[in-house]
């Protein structure tokens, strides 16, 4: 089966997470991605461990799990872009690719002659995407940023965590670097949109992606709640601000997540819990009423859920088509029969470790396949190969290595 982006070449100048995640997504779809790293340390995340990938003999590859989660399907070359000879290599590569992706501080690549305007002069159809914390313009444009900071500044932590008046209350960040990941996803969508436009117009494009912009856009219903009511959203723990009941409930042996999305599901819930009259109670008969009276509804449901185990309620509510489920650990989530069936966890061949586990892209196509045959590369694994494709001789490549350019 075909890979949808097998005709696309990407020059990935990014590091850490948002940019590499975006480039990995394109690689999963079949694009050829050349990852440019610093000679010596490479991408910062290679050292963000432990854990590090183990070899069959028990040694370490010095490739962290963090790095391995965002770089499969790429070819790695090392180039010192601060040096004129390194900059020339990047220009030669940029002349032959469809996309350049970077996440340097604002102005850095312009000093090196590797900004969009400079590279567009040699490749007018180039699509160039810049990812930064705050964007290319504005009072914060030159400030550095990381996911944690953006979660705080963008309002996400103000609505994440337990209520201040309860034990453990206070702002919390999400347990994964979500804004990095979604910024990378948005960047991929933007680049694919630019590719589609280029098919029609023949023109390249510049994309300015800012993590803070992404975070604010994700405030979605919480922002609309504020904009329409004037009331500042607050932390509610696991309770949903607009739909009830949606929360964590304690059963006889542990916690269960309940997600009731409409009045019909609420009626089925009440029937299954053995309290059908609750669905006709004027305090609870519609979702707006349940939201207004959730402090009265909650203790009634708590008492009912406490009567059976998680497994018993999961089985009964599942039969009634009421969405519910356990709070799985990561090992439990990966072992879920649905995840196993969908083959989300796969083992890819690795040049030194034998194999490396990978959580693959969730894309599933009817007439195309995703790439699952190329592990995250070793540092500089493909330098000689890629430079040879540019026409550099073995002697020239060796000289560049001796001069610490690659």
Please give the positions annotated as active site.
Answer: 180
Longest Cα–Cα distance in the chain: 84
Sorted by sequence, the CB contacts under 8 Å of residue 39 that are 6+ apart come out as: 78, 79, 80, 380, 404, 405, 406
- CB burial readout 128-152, b (16+ within 10 A) else e: bbbbbbbbeeeebbeeebebebbbe
Give the burial class of 220: count Cβ atoms within 10 A of its Cβ; 0-12 exposed, 13-18 middle, 19 or more buried.
Answer: exposed
Here the tokens at position 304 are 């009912």
The number of angstroms, rounded, from the C-alpha of 142 to the middle of its chain's C-alpha atoms is 24
- CB burial readout 27-49, b (16+ within 10 A) else e: bbbbbbbbbbbbbeebbebbeeb
Contact indicator for 22, 187 with CB cutoff of 8 Å? yes
């Amino acid at each position: 089966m075909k890979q949808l982006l097998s005709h696309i070449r990407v020059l990935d100048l990014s590091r850490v997470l948002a940019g590499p995640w975006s480039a990995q997504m394109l690689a999963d779809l079949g694009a050829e991605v050349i990852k440019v790293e610093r000679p010596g340390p490479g991408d910062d995340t290679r050292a963000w461990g432990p854990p590090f990938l183990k070899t069959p003999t028990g040694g370490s590859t010095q490739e962290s799990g963090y790095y391995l989660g965002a770089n499969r399907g790429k070819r790695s070359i090392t180039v010192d872009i601060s040096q004129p000879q390194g900059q020339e290599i990047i220009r030669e590569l940029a002349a032959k690719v469809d996309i350049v992706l970077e996440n340097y501080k604002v102005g850095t690549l312009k000093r090196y002659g590797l900004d969009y305007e400079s590279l567009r002069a040699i490749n007018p159809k180039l699509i160039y995407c810049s990812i930064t914390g705050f964007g290319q313009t504005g009072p914060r444009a030159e400030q550095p940023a990381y996911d944690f900071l953006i979660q705080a500044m963008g309002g996400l932590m103000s609505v994440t965590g337990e209520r201040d008046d309860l034990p453990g209350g206070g702002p919390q960040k999400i347990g994964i670097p979500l804004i990095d990941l979604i910024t990378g996803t948005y960047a991929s969508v933007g680049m694919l949109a630019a590719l589609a436009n280029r098919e029609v117009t023949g023109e390249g494009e510049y994309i300015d992606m800012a993590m803070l912009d992404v975070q604010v856009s994700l405030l979605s219903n919480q922002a609309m709640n504020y904009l329409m009511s004037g009331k500042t959203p607050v932390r509610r723990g696991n309770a949903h601000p607009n739909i009830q009941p949606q929360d964590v409930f304690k059963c006889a042996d542990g916690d269960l997540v309940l997600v009731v999305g409409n009045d019909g599901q609420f009626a089925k819930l009440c029937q299954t819990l053995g309290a059908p009259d609750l669905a006709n109670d004027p305090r609870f008969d519609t979702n707006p009423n349940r939201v207004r009276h959730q402090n009265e509804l909650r203790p009634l449901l708590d008492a009912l859920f406490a009567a059976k185990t998680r497994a018993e309620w999961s089985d009964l509510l599942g039969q009634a088509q009421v969405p519910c489920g356990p709070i799985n650990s990561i090992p439990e989530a990966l072992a879920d029969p649905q995840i196993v069936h969908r083959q989300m966890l796969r083992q890819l061949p690795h040049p030194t470790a034998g194999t490396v586990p990978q959580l693959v892209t969730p894309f599933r196509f009817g007439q195309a396949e995703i790439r699952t045959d190329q592990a995250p590369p070793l540092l500089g694994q493909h330098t000689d190969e890629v430079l040879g494709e540019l026409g550099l001789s073995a002697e020239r490549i060796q000289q560049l290595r001796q001069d610490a350019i690659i």
